[in-house]
Structure 1
Amino acid sequence: MKTLGVLGGMGPAATVAFLARLQALTPATGDADHIRVLMDLNPHVPDRNTRPGEAEVELGAMARRLAAAGAEVLAMPCNTAHAQAASIRAAGLPFIDMIAATTAAAKATGAAAIGVLATGGGRALYAPAL
């Protein structure tokens, strides 16, 4: 089982909710069956809507730190920050793209209409993907 690195803190409650869902949905019969998770909960990432270049630098640094700490795959429970995914991928680890995964799941159901609650930056990512 691979070690998951989570780029979090945007916002902190979303990261905690993601970790709770990860734990709840893992088919584990005991503690040792759960996924090892390394997390960088950083609520000081510059605003992804108004300071995207600065956010990209910080997200890339977070990804590299998680890789150095032993993460083997990365995830990030912030839709808007996926606009800076290139800097995360540059850390050289597989990145679970939430936009792509959500879009694939929605398309697989044959849904004709999808509702997305997101910032303007999040809408800009989902609209063309859907």
Structure 2
Amino acid sequence: MSKVLGVIGGMGPAATVAFLARVQALTPAEGDADHVRVVMDLNPQVPDRNVRPGEAEEELGRMAAGLAAAGAQVIAMPCNTAHGQAGAIREVCAARGLVFIDMIAATADAAAASGARRIGVLATPGGER
């Protein structure tokens, strides 16, 4: 049985929908029941990560806690910028024994493993930390 994926989304909503479409498309499934179970909080009202990073981090932590309460065992967040405020998510995951997939770290690891010496990143400036 696969783990339940919790998705912190809504920043922006289209990125979250695209992420979920990729999860579905890349899951080796022969039928509906073979797909990954996903619980999601699509919240486009997360405070602006560029100008209110502390408030954004608090809200992201609340979202992670809500997903954990809904049964998520692994947390993903398809927003580059919001990873700058992922501290509260990491705290929730550590306290509850969940895995947080840090897409920035995972991308850097994959690039390094491929031998890449330069990579490009598309993201908004993010808030100062």
TM-score normalized by the length of structure 2 = 0.91
Does 1:110 find its partner at 2:111? no
Q: Take 1:85 and 1:116, find their aligned partners in 2: how far apart are those partners?
A: 18
Shift of 1:116: 1.4
Q: Tell me, which stretches of 5 or more residues in structure 1 are unaligned? A: 125-130
The SS at the match of 1:91 is helix
Task: Tell me the matched-pair count.
Answer: 123
Structure 2 SS opposite 1:99: helix
Amino acid at match of 2:52: R
Counterpart position of 1:101:
106
Structure 1 residues 31-40 or 86-95, which shifts more? 86-95
Aligned to 1:128: none
Return 5+ residue gaps in structure 2 as ranges.
none
Matches of 1:112 and 1:71 in 2, distance apart?
35
Instruction: State the AA in 2 paired with 1:22.
Output: V
Percent identity for Structure 1 against Structure 2: 76
1:1-130 counterparts in 2 under 5 A?
Answer: 1-92=2-93, 93-121=98-126
Deviation at 1:121, TM superposition (A): 2.5
**Partner AA of 1:79 in structure 2:** N
Secondary structure class of the residue paired with 1:58: helix
> In structure 2, what is the Cα distance between the partners aligned to 1:3 and 1:38?
7
RMSD over aligned Cα atoms = 1.4
